[in-house]
Amino acid sequence: MRLTIFGSGYVGLVQGACMAEMGNHVVCYDIDEDKIERLNNGEIPIYEPGLEAYVERNVEAGRLEFTTDVKKAVDHGLYQFIAVGTPPDEDGSADLKHVLAVARAIGENMDDYRIVVDKSTVPVGTADKVKAEIASQLARRKLPLEFDVVSNPEFLKEGAAIGDFMKPDRIIIGTDNPRTTELLKTLYEPFNRNHDRVISMDIRSAELTKYAANAMLATKISFMNELANLAEKFGADIEHVRIGIGSDPRIGYHFIYPGAGYGGSCFPKDVQALAKSASDAGYDAELLKAVEAVNLRQKTRLFEKVQAHYGGELKGKIIALWGLSFKPNTDDMRAAPSRVIMESLWDAGAKVRAYDPAAMHEARRLYGDQHGLELCESALDALDGADALVIVTEWQEFRSPDFAMLKETLGDAVVFDGRNLYEPSTMEAHGLQYYAIGRGQT
Ligand SMILES: NC(=O)c1ccc[n+]([C@@H]2O[C@H](COP(=O)([O-])OP(=O)(O)OC[C@H]3O[C@@H](n4cnc5c(N)ncnc54)[C@H](O)[C@@H]3O)[C@@H](O)[C@H]2O)c1
């Protein structure tokens, strides 16, 4: 089948590669000329395990192409996927300018029936806006062409995106027309071999399902962070509490890790956007606002621990920092807790020696001229000359360090762990002072 995907970022590129892998002919379109040029030169602009091999294989087979030619893009696919960004606007709402620009481009260029499939995360009612935009362009061109708009939100996780796309938990198809449900089911058939994962529903419910999923996951995280802060006040250990509640199958072990707060391109903006949509609809979404507020506070907790340890005297301190991406296995630093912590350390006069296995280029892009930042070659290199270590992202390579070496290297022999990677007793046995999240200290 022939597909066009608008937007070649984390979602669009993964979808393009996976759809091509199944034998479809995919054209990926992006307005970012530099990105398309890099892709055409065989360079993958993002870090996503397994993606490079998929792209390489399918480009070679002629099933995957990248273009900035919008006419070619609209002409190519019966299916026109929208996978562009929906960043937060100043008031927290989802900014639809990229989504509507794609709708306009489709309406301006289509010469035949098209199914427009929205994969971007968009507020309820966006499909109507996309429809109106395409219809107005067709009216302007005096071309009475048929088209359908479908909501097909994406649930992949950065860092595991290929696996998630190839074996999705569910494929949500929101349509107002049985014909498009069937066309979408046919397209997704290869992803359904094991069992049918398609859940079809009306468009508005599909749009809301995506926000509901992210808001639920964000709520679990903020809940555990709130409990972790309470555990500190009460002298309890949140790690025992976590195991204790996770054993209840109604709660489960997933997504109840306390930490330095959630980040990334989805949870923060989606919780905010849903709260804003609620308020626009005359509903005060108190729980969602609290989830967001708890998370913002949590992102400052690690820094507060550093500051308290040093009695507010951070000027001239050198802090090693492990982990810049918002979670392991990605280079994405959007809304990452590391940014809040580094910026607070700089404001307090400390210097940061940072290392991340994948996000160094992103850190250089964001903070290249920040004189308080030294980007280091390795986790070990980051420790060189440092007084303390702060761990922000739970990359596997940080899980089992040489504790004796840490004690010897760190000037003040102190570790601040935003991901609870180590046992406090192990740290104590090695003579290291250890601050974790929700494990006893305030
Ligand atoms: N990143 C994730 O893990 C994830 C998961 C599920 C859903 N989503 C949602 O999917 C959408 C895309 O997210 P992403 O992380 O891939 O974003 P991204 O920022 O990585 O990529 C978006 C791409 O769209 C391109 N673009 C912007 N305007 C365009 C236009 N008019 N025509 C063509 N391309 C255009 C940009 O240049 C960029 O390359 C968002 O709505 C996001 O919330 C993201």
Ligand 1 contact, 266 CB (< 6 A) = yes
Residues 174-183: tens digit of each pLDDT? 999 999 999 9
The answer, yes or no, to whether residue 442 has pLDDT greater than 50, is no
pLDDT the model gives residue 337: 98
For ligand 1, atom 44, the nearest C-alpha belongs to 11
- How much distance in Å is there from the Cα of 366 to the middle of ligand 1? 19
Output the residue whose Cα is nearest ligand 1's atom 15. Answer: 10
Confirm or reject: Cβ of 24 under 6 Å from ligand 1: no
Q: Is 10 in the pocket of ligand 1 (CB under 6 A)?
A: yes
Cα of 126 from ligand 1 centre, angstroms: 16
The reply to whether ligand 1 has any atom less than 6 angstroms from the CB of 214 is no
Q: If phi over 0 gives left and psi between -120 and 50 gives alpha, with beta otherwise, what is residue 255?
A: left
Ligand 1 atom nearest to 120, measured from its CA:
41
Which residues are catalytically annotated?
A: 266
The finding on whether 121 has its CB within 6 A of some atom of ligand 1 is yes
| pLDDT value for 440 | 80
Q: Buried b / exposed e across 80-111, counting CB within 10 Å, b at 16+?
A: bbbbbbbebeeebbbbbebbbebbebbbbbbe
Average pLDDT over residues 142-156: 97
- CA–centroid distance, 133 to ligand 1, in Å, is 20
Pocket probe for ligand 1: among 68, 72, 265, 325, the residue whose CB has the most ligand atoms within 8 Å is 265
Does the Cβ of 31 fall within 6 Å of ligand 1? yes
Q: 394 in ligand 1 pocket by Cβ < 6 Å? A: no
Residue 267 to residues 12, 40, 215, 280: CA-CA distances in angstroms? 18, 31, 7, 20
Radius of gyration of the chain from its Cα atoms, rounded to whole angstroms: 24
Rounded to the nearest whole angstrom, what is the distance from the C-alpha of residue 83 to the centroid of ligand 1?
Answer: 5
Tell me the pLDDT of the chain averaged across its residues: 97
CA gap 226, 292 in Å, rounded: 12
**Ligand 1 centroid to 349 CA: how many Å?**
36
Query: Residues 361-390: what's their mean pLDDT?
Result: 97
| Residue 152 predicted with pLDDT over 50 | yes
**Minimum CA distance residue for ligand 1 atom 37:** 32
> Is residue 95 predicted with pLDDT exceeding 60?
yes
Nearest protein CA to atom 28 of ligand 1, as residue: 98
Nearest ligand 1 atom to the CA of 102 is 31
> For ligand 1, what atom is nearest to the CA of residue 157?
3
Distance (Å) of CA 331 to CA 41, 159, 162, 334: 20, 9, 15, 9
- Adjacency order of strands within the sheet including 433-435: 373-375, 351-355, 318-322, 388-391, 414-417, 433-435
pLDDT digits (tens, 9 = 90+) for 381-407: 999 999 999 999 999 999 999 999 999
Predicted TM-score (pTM) of the model is: 0.95
At 193, is the pLDDT very low, low, confident or very high (cuts 50, 70, 90)?
Answer: confident
CA of 119 to the centre of ligand 1 (A): 9
Name every residue whose Cβ is closer than 8 Å to that of residue 313 and which is 6 or more positions away in sequence: none
Q: Does ligand 1 come within 6 angstroms of the Cβ of 101?
A: yes
Contact 327, 158 (CB under 8 A): yes
